[in-house]
């Protein structure tokens, strides 16, 4: 089954304790992205990646890191989490970068709800 898998789905942590949210897709998509969603603010893009070893900042990258060492994985790293990073996080992937005219659909994971105390 084609899917984007995020882990963990739920996490409560404390300020300053490094954590990683993993994201894996099995669709051979080149494009991957992380979003955070907060009440009243909609979905905001954190980082995105056009392909392996190619990453770039979205609208709200502060406090986050990413890496894209393999095509299928795009982990989100919070080196020193703070309470303002409490949010619902979504990973997404797409064939956008493949050059196919029919591309344009983003596939989302089920979300990771993070609470930083």
For another protein, the binding residues (CB under 8 A) are 4, 31, 33, 35, 40-45, 48, 50, 56, 58-59, 88, 90, 92, 94, 96-97, 101, 103-111, 113
Nearest to 53 by CA among 74, 24, 26, 28: 74
C-beta of 43: minimal distance to another protein in Å? 4
Query: Smallest distance, Å, CB 59 to another protein?
Result: 7
- Residue 70, classed as helix, strand or coil, is coil
Q: How far is the CB of 42 from another protein (least distance, A)?
A: 4
């Amino acid at each position: 089954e084609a899917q984007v898998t995020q882990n963990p789905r739920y996490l409560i942590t404390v300020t300053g304790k490094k954590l990683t949210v993993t994201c894996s897709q099995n669709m051979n998509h080149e494009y991957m992205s992380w979003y955070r969603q907060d009440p009243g603010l909609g979905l905001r893009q954190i980082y995105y990646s056009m392909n392996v070893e190619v990453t770039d900042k979205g609208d709200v990258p502060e406090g986050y890191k990413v890496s894209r060492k393999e095509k299928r994985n795009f982990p989100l790293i919070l080196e020193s989490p703070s309470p303002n990073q409490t949010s619902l996080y979504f990973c997404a992937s797409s064939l956008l970068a493949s050059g196919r005219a029919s591309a344009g659909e983003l596939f989302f994971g089920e979300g990771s709800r993070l609470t930083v105390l």
